[in-house]
Amino acid sequence: MQFTTILVALLPALAAGKVIQPVPVATMAVLAPNDLPFSDLVCSKEFRDLCAPSSDGVKRCILVKGSPLCAIDCESQSTCRTQCRKRTPRAINGYCTTGDHPCICSDVDAGFDQYM
């Protein structure tokens, strides 16, 4: 029963394949800092577990406009984090992602549950 509940909850994300599959960093576009989206909402562990790990072994997923996006810490291969700091000084992280937003700015680590 629990498996069915989890499966039903994950079907929308699985149907939108671009949401949970990382893109090679080399294909990511460079956007002006003001064009970069910002999010401090982290996906549930169930969604994070579907993502590929970053170079540090942590699986990250961030919510952008209500959609879960797998994210990797791509500082060594991209200027995403630098661009994010120009956009928003509190943006301590810039994550490379798939889909319409190749770089997401955040002030949280998208690999861990956030408690308020």
Instruction: Give the pLDDT score at 84.
Output: 87
Per-domain residue ranges for the chain? 2-106
Task: Look at the chain and count its residues.
Answer: 116
Q: Which helix (H) or strand (E) holds 3?
A: helix 2-15
pLDDT (tens place) for every residue of the chain, 116 residues total: 444 444 445 444 444 444 444 444 333 444 455 678 888 899 999 999 999 898 889 899 999 888 898 988 877 677 888 888 888 777 788 888 766 678 888 888 877 776 54
Token duo for residue 99: 């889909």
Count of CB atoms situated within 10 Å of the CB of 28: 19
**How far, CA to CA in Å, does 38 sit from each of 73, 81, 109?**
15, 12, 13
Confirm if 98 and 114 have CB atoms less than 8 A apart. Answer: no
Collect all residues with Cβ–Cβ distance below 8 Å to 7 and sequence separation of at least 6: none
Instruction: Give the pLDDT score at 99.
Output: 64
Instruction: Give the pLDDT score at 15.
Output: 45
Residue matched to tokens 């996906």: 43
